[in-house]
């Protein structure tokens, strides 16, 4: 894992945008794995500004989102489809026919739909870069603690902590789904690169467990220790419980020097 610690959340978003931009410029037909939640919003704002400035086109981009709620329609303002349209897709030149979320309509067999999503990712050539946030309980996507590290796209029942964390986004009289379709941990590990963003004190324990804890289904993000190319972008608050912060800063200085001499090398 490459851990990069920034002074503030804006710097985290700007750096994440540089990664996405670099991929998209290098590979116009890139396949992006996208996330919802509060954390990636500032990244999407950066991508939209880049697009509006004529620096970035999504014309040939395909996207696969991590997860989607079950039991609410795509046009419901609480759906992740709506989130993606309003935070990114509506503001860039992407063909929405090439934007996918793991949906399962009423009456459809979730096992069949989950496998169909896996197949669609495969047919697109696999995910080049997967954007991730992390839950306060260490979840990635909606892979809650106890999720199999070998899991594939399927239905997950959300934990009480996730429901409580996300309750802030729902009005008191609004239906809050307790089930979701989510890419599995193995699906995420298949991505060529993973870019995980975490900001704020409430993520510090999960970040510590992910980076320095045992690989365990109790902290699904810890599975990323087994991934070859994971970059973790943190603000100071989210990094506050990491013991080796000095080392990470020093290692990044060395990486920057190597990049300056040889250029960035990404095996997309
Ligand atoms: P957040 O959610 O960005 O809203 O904190 C992250 C997550 O649950 O993966």
Report pLDDT for 224: 98
Q: Is residue 69 in a domain? A: yes
pLDDT tens by residue, 112-132: 999 999 999 999 999 999 999
Residue 63: closest CA among 132, 141, 128, 118: 128
| CATH number, domain containing residue 235 | 3.40.50.1360
Count how many domains the chain has. Answer: 1
What Cα–Cα distance (Å) separates residue 187 from each residue in 100, 220, 227? 15, 13, 12
Pocket test for ligand 1, best of 9, 35, 37, 165 (most atoms within 8 A of CB): 37
Looking from the CA of residue 141, the nearest atom of ligand 1 is 9
Is 22 an active-site residue? Answer: no
Does the predicted model carry a pTM greater than 0.85?
Answer: yes
165 domain residue, yes or no: yes
Domain assignment of residue 89, yes or no: yes
pLDDT of residue 265: 66
Residue 190 belongs to a domain? yes
Question: What confidence score (pLDDT) does residue 259 get?
Answer: 84
- pLDDT tens, 137-182? 999 999 999 999 999 999 999 999 999 989 999 999 999 999 999 9
Q: Is residue 97 assigned to a domain?
A: yes
Q: Residue 126 is encoded by which pair of tokens? A: 């696999």
Pocket test for ligand 1, best of 12, 33, 38, 136 (most atoms within 8 A of CB): 38
Structural contact between residues 226 and 191, judged by C-beta atoms closer than 8 angstroms:
no
Produce one character per residue of 231-258: b if its CB has 16 or more CB atoms within 10 Å, e if not. Answer: bbbbbebbbbbbeeeeebeeeeeeeeee
Residue 194 forms part of a structural domain: yes
262 located within any domain: no
- Catalytic-role residue among 137, 143, 209, 235: 137
Q: Is the CB of 38 under 6 A from ligand 1?
A: yes
Active-site hit among 50, 67, 87, 143 = 67
Per the structure, the complete domain to which residue 162 belongs is given by 2-257
Tell me whether residue 253 is one of the annotated catalytic residues.
no
Does residue 263 sit within a domain? no
Active site residue 67: yes
Q: Is 144 a catalytic residue?
A: yes
- Look up residue 243 and give its two tokens: 């013991």
Question: What are 181-220's pLDDT values in tens digits?
Answer: 999 999 999 999 999 999 999 999 999 999 999 999 999 9
């Amino acid at each position: 894992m490459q851990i990069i610690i920034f002074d503030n959340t804006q710097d985290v978003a700007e750096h994440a945008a540089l990664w996405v931009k670099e991929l998209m410029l290098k590979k116009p037909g890139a396949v992006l794995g996208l996330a919802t939640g509060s954390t990636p919003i500032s990244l999407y704002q950066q991508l939209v500004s880049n697009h509006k400035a004529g620096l970035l086109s999504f014309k040939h981009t395909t996207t696969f989102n991590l997860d989607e709620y079950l039991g609410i329609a795509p046009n419901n303002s609480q759906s992740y489809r709506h989130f993606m349209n309003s935070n990114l897709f509506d503001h860039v030149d992407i063909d929405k026919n090439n934007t996918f979320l793991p949906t399962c309509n009423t009456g459809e067999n979730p096992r069949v739909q989950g496998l169909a999503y896996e197949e669609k990712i495969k047919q697109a050539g696999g995910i080049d870069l997967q954007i991730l946030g992390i839950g306060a309980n260490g979840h990635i996507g909606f892979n809650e603690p106890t999720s199999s590290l070998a899991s594939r796209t399927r239905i997950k029942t959300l934990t009480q902590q996730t429901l409580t964390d996300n309750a802030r986004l729902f009005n008191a009289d609004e239906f809050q789904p307790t089930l979701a379709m989510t890419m599995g941990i193995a699906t995420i590990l298949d991505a060529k690169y993973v870019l995980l963003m975490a900001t704020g004190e409430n993520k510090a324990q999960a970040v510590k467990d992910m980076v320095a804890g045992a690989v365990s289904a109790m902290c699904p993000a810890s599975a990323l220790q087994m991934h070859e190319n994971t970059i973790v972008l943190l603000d100071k608050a989210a990094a506050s419980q990491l013991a080796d912060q000095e080392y990470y800063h020093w290692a990044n200085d060395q990486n920057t020097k190597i990049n300056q001499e040889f250029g960035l090398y990404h095996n997309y």
